[in-house]
Amino acid sequence: MIKKVLIANRGEIAVRIIRACREMGIMTVAVCSEADRNALHSQLADETICIGPAPSSESYLNVGRIISATMTSGADAIHPGFGFLSEDAEFAKICEKCNITFIGPTSEMIAASGNKANAKKTMIEAGVPVIPGSAEAANTPADGLKLAKIAGFPVMIKAALGGGGKGMRVARSEDVFEKAFLTAQAEAKASFGDDSMYVEHYVEHPKHIEVQILADKFGNVIHLGERDCSVQRNHQKLIEETPCDSLPEDLREKIREAAVKAAKAVSYENAGTCEFLVEPDGKFYFMEMNTRIQVEHPITEWVTGVDLIREQIKIASGLPLEYKQEDIRISGHSIEVRINAEDPEHKFRPCPGKIETVYLPGGKGVRVDSAVYAGLEIPPYYDSMLAKLSVWAPTREEARRKMQTALGEVIITGIKTNIDYQYSLITHKDFIEGRTDIDFIDRISRG
């Protein structure tokens, strides 16, 4: 069993992991940058090691310094959280070589999922539905165009190593294809150091549905239901909910089963998420697999009662899953909103600065995952997410009203936040009626 965990992250997820470890009797080591000496995670862990200057490249992304901190502190495992090194196959491999338990899948699984074109081939072989189009890679516009004709216009040109929207362009017709291909490819080369592209049919107005998976080292794979993450802006999710009531139950069951099939096809291990696009007519396609714990995991915890971080640690320790699929009951409805330090009136630009006052809501069915307190300085170097507010209630509408009530109570002064903007989304007619797809924000912003 793991005895001491180094948390290679910051903010609310670091705090979340420290809490789970403490409940399990596991010692914790926080790492922090010079900008985070007063951060909550630095104060809550059993030990804290300052690993370098504020920029992520010198601290939270610095593999050498994180490995040394692990060795120095005698930690036997690293939890990477999300972002930073969480999906870096090289980092996971170094942990494996140093006999440090990486709390996540193996480096091979991370690398295999990271190449989206290869992952797509694996899913085709496994019989998991994927977006129409070839999974072959193209390196020239001419080769890309051949694939585009197979996929059928409009098409989406994607970087093999992409994900999260980088190195991605839509081409609506043949005459704009070459330009779109070269733009996407240049972006891919700059972001991932690799310019292999693949081409798919462009799916219009889909929902983004993802399925939470847990898999142990013995081949046991279960799902914990789906999350609807359609409400997003510039590939940043804003609201997540589970279950997705706006899709028929039989369709959701098929998507969940496809996710389990996908995880089994890659012999997946630990917590993971399979992302799908779901068309208005009910056709659904596997898109990619995320090999980390995700920001929105609390809503799955609300409706299943399963502590996902605890399960990650147990799986990494080599314990078999205690839950069978039939033990997982999805009960009620949960919604999460992300509270960010940003200015909705100025293109959502990040707004770091000193927090003056904080009041966070509570009460039955209300959860706050945050690392903020009055007097804390929010540094400009990292992600702008300050807190996650999540609620549970028996039905979607009750959960939505609970979220509306909770959001109405939040006070954060000293910096600008998106709280009022989130309130406007939660009370929007289309959201109330469950009419959300990935174009929801664009549609309502145009008015």
Binding site for ligand MV4 (CB under 6 A): 131, 156, 163-165, 200-203, 208, 232, 235, 277, 287-288, 438
Q: 48-51, long-range: CB within 8 Å, 24+ apart, which pairs?
A: 49/73
Helices (H), 115-172: 116-126, 141-151
Neighbouring C-beta atoms of residue 408, cutoff 10 Å: 13
Closest approach, Cβ 354 to ligand MV4, in A, equals: 33
Residue closer to ligand MV4 (CB basis): 17 or 131: 131
Task: Name beta bridge partners: 339.
Answer: 387
What is the amino acid identity at position 136?
Answer: E
400 tagged catalytic: no
Query: What distance in Å separates the CA atoms of residue 300 and residue 315, rounded to the nearest whole number?
Result: 18
Residue closer to ligand MV4 (CB basis): 133 or 361: 133
Query: What are residue 312's phi and psi, to 5 degrees?
Result: -60, -45
CA 259 vs CA 29, 273, 275: distances in Å: 34, 8, 8
CA 199 vs CA 117, 149, 158, 169: distances in Å: 9, 9, 6, 10
Closest approach, Cβ 389 to ligand MV4, in A, equals: 21
The residue annotated as part of the active site, out of 169, 227, 252, 292, is: 292
Query: What distance in Å separates the CA atoms of residue 303 and residue 308, rounded to the nearest whole number?
Result: 12
Task: Name beta bridge partners: 271.
Answer: 214
Residue closer to ligand MV4 (CB basis): 202 or 268: 202
Query: What distance in Å separates the CA atoms of residue 173 and residue 184, rounded to the nearest whole number?
Result: 16
Query: What distance in Å separates the CA atoms of residue 372 and residue 355, rounded to the nearest whole number?
Result: 8
Residue closer to ligand MV4 (CB basis): 39 or 199: 199
**Nearest Cα residue to 331 out of 355, 300, 303:** 303
Query: What distance in Å separates the CA atoms of residue 22 and residue 7, rounded to the nearest whole number?
Result: 13
347 Cβ contact list (under 8 Å, min separation 6)? none
- Give one DSSP letter per residue of 384-441, joined into a string: -EEEEEEEEESSHHHHHHHHHHHHHH-EEESS--SHHHHHHHHT-HHHHTT---TTHH
Q: Prior bond to 394 cis, omega within 30?
A: no
Conformational region of residue 444, where left means phi above 0, alpha means psi within -120 to 50, and beta covers everything else: alpha
Q: 427-432, long-range: CB within 8 Å, 24+ apart, which pairs?
A: 431/231, 431/239, 431/400, 432/397, 432/400
Query: What distance in Å separates the CA atoms of residue 365 and residue 303, rounded to the nearest whole number?
Result: 11
Catalytic residue set: 292
